[in-house]
Amino acid sequence: MALRQIRLKNDPILRKKSREVEKIDDRIKQIVEDMFETMYENKGIGLACVQVGMLKRIVVIDMQDEDGQMVLINPKIIQKSDEKQINVEGCLSIPGENGYVERPKTVTVEYTDLNGNIQQKTASDYKAHCFCHELDHLDGVLYTDKVLNLSEEEIERLNNEK
Ligand SMILES: [Zn+2]
């Protein structure tokens, strides 16, 4: 295992589109291990491969919940609710900042796991935010592109209207 360096906000690689993983070999498994180690070291709950400098469509997530460690290879959102939610997001590539972002309340993601099996996972609330945030990274999108410029009162009101 090895810690990898996290790429920060102005690094141009964060704006590039990651490429599909074609074969899950030992090298990919090593990268996944390193991603988890790097994520835990930096107290994150999700990390996309591009954040450690490789343009591969791999995301790791661990929200310390019943799902435990999740490895999502070539993930795609295949369904999302019309209902939206607003939550605070931060990003290991943008340390010390956060902002309100609107995301679907529920999303279903299809992905390949580390054993090469196709899986589907439906998540709501903050986990749906996490999935959307990490999958955006694979297309070069940062949460700061979507931050709402609203006061706390306005956000409270919007979330209560739903
Ligand atoms: Zn991020």
Q: Walk along the chain (162 residues) in steps of 10 and give the mean pLDDT of each run.
A: 92 98 97 98 97 98 96 98 95 95 97 97 97 98 93 78 64
pTM of the model: 0.93
- Are 115 and 34 a contacting pair, CB within 8 Å? no
Amino acid 162: pLDDT: 57
Catalytic (active site) residue 134: yes
Q: Which of 134, 152, 153, 156 is catalytic?
A: 134
Distance 54 CA to ligand 1 centre (A): 14
Amino acid 18: pLDDT: 98
Amino acid 73: pLDDT: 98
Distance 21 CA to ligand 1 centre (A): 20
Amino acid 159: pLDDT: 76
Amino acid 153: pLDDT: 83
Distance 81 CA to ligand 1 centre (A): 22
Amino acid 149: pLDDT: 84
